[in-house]
Amino acid sequence: MRTICFLSDFGLADDFVGTCKGVMLKISPGVQILDLTHQVPSFAVEAGAEILQHATRYMPEDSVYLAVVDPGVGTERREVALETSSGASMVGPDNGLLIPAAEALGGASSVVELTNEEYRIHPVSNTFHGRDVFSPVAAYLAVGVGLRELGSEIPLDSLARLDVEEDEASGGEIAARVIDIDRFGNARLSIREYGSGFEYGDELKLDIGDGGMGIRYVATFGAAGAGELILVPDSHWRLSVSINKGSAAKALSLSVGTKVSLKR
């Protein structure tokens, strides 16, 4: 049986996650459910999409991804499931949450809207499609129900996409933005380490709209002095503007969305 990788913004204070698991185990007894995280910030579709995309590097290849960050529940937004060319499946709302992960897995080869009433828990609530629509579909996929059983096929390019600004690289300069501030005050950037073209030890110039300042690109915090402004890769292989033993976000007044440029 395929593993179900479950991501949501349900939190763990309530019984939401447990109830979804009951629904899945009732349909596919013995299925393994991996909690990726349930603490995506409430309704933060873009943050959830980034975590899901990153996770694809580490999850079993034939996983069924169940992802629910769904501010539009109860409105007209569609419910969808898709298959990737790498052999994974994904289930969730049609709000862009699944797209970056699907692309990281080679792209979606087939998409359906979840219109088949047989694969839902009735009555379907207005507020909790995680339980009533998405969990049952994930469980049916895990035991081998075919994607086309679940509803009618829809064009891949009809899926909603996140309106995410692309990083721009030209002439050795990368224009990017802050996508997250972690609890230590590190400002995580949209730039991935492996696409940056920079090398450890490079003395770079960081510009946040104020004329620019020097920043050193290092492999680890251990390679920097206390209080030094550094560019350092995080565990998601993204670059982070950091101050060793300090808060870069506070020192430079960085927040989610701040535009930055980096060059040699």
> Contacting a copy of itself (CB under 8 A), which of 106, 118, 124, 126?
126
Q: Per rule CB under 8 A, is residue 74 in the interface with a copy of itself?
A: yes
Among 9, 54, 188, 242, binds a copy of itself (CB under 8 A): 54
Written as six digits, the tokens of 96 are: 């862009």
* 90, β-bridge pairs: 65, 82
| Adjacency order of strands within the sheet including 108-113 | 33-37, 4-8, 64-68, 89-93, 79-84, 108-113, 152-153
16 versus 198: smaller Cβ distance to a copy of itself: 16
Q: Please tell me whether residue 233 binds a copy of itself under the rule CB under 8 A.
A: yes
Q: Does 5 bind a copy of itself (CB under 8 A)?
A: yes
Does the footprint of a copy of itself cover residue 90 (CB under 8 A)? Answer: no
How many chain residues touch a copy of itself (CB under 8 A)? 49
- The answer to whether residue 61 forms part of the interface with a copy of itself (CB under 8 A) is yes
Contact between 65 and 88 under an 8 Å Cβ cutoff? The reply is yes
Chain positions 183 to 222 lying near a copy of itself, rule: CB under 8 A, are: 219-222
Q: CA-to-CA distance for 85 and 122, rounded, in angstroms?
A: 32
- Do 100 and 50 contact (CB within 8 A), yes or no? yes
Among 8, 16, 142, 230, binds a copy of itself (CB under 8 A): 16
Pure H helices in the chain:
16-27, 45-55, 99-104, 129, 135-142, 248-252
Enumerate binding residues for a copy of itself (CB under 8 A).
3, 5, 7, 12-19, 21-23, 25-26, 29-30, 32, 34-39, 51, 54-55, 58-61, 63, 74-75, 121, 125-128, 131, 219-222, 233-235, 237
